[in-house]
Amino acid sequence: INPNFKSARRYEDPVRAGLECNEQIRYPEVRLLDAEGNSLGVLNSKAALKMARDQGLDLVEITAEAKPPVVKIVDIGKHVYNLKRARKEQEKKARENATVVKEIQLRPVTDKHDLDIKINQAKKFLSDSIKVRVVIKFKGREMNFTDKGYNIMNSFLEGIGECRIEKSPSMDGKAISAIIAPLSKNQ
């Protein structure tokens, strides 16, 4: 055998690696569930493993915190597949419920035409039910003219028209920021 040869390692499935099954279950007694989820009572873990082997299935730990721990007789491949599918569905729901916030950046020297373009961009985001964070950033000596920044922010908010202001314009360090959201459909 060549010592420089690296064998191809199999991909370690994180879902399967997190499961305790068959001989890895080392509790003296366990509460056993059959493949349909019916309780078979409290048994010695070796007897439970023998019952699973007799059926041609695996013994998988479901809840380790229970007294005694709960194990189930299942087909390990099918169980892992169902766990992955449930995790995928949960992640999909989390993505759907996530709130999207787009940011529009302005400067205190932003001209009227550029401001109109940014207003139209914000209106498009609001029509797509996306929140908008408006930021006016100041550099150097511009910090002395924050009132000009507030004037630009107010003209921006007036140009938007109908919207809900979630966070009114306020100074955050070297920037003035506000968050606006679309009006809810029931109003």
- pLDDT tens per residue, range 115-170: 999 999 999 999 988 999 999 999 999 889 889 999 999 999 999 988 889 999 99
Among 74-88, 91-105, 117-131, which stretch is predicted with the lowest mean pLDDT?
91-105
Query: What is the 8-class DSSP label of residue 183?
Result: P
- pLDDT tens per residue, range 16-51: 777 888 888 888 899 999 888 888 889 888 898 899
Residue 107 · residue 134 · CB < 8 Å: no
Q: Which residues contact 7 (CB under 8 A, 6 or more apart)?
A: none
Measured distance CA(155)–CA(115) in Å, rounded: 9
Instruction: Check: pTM over 0.85? Answer yes or no.
Output: no
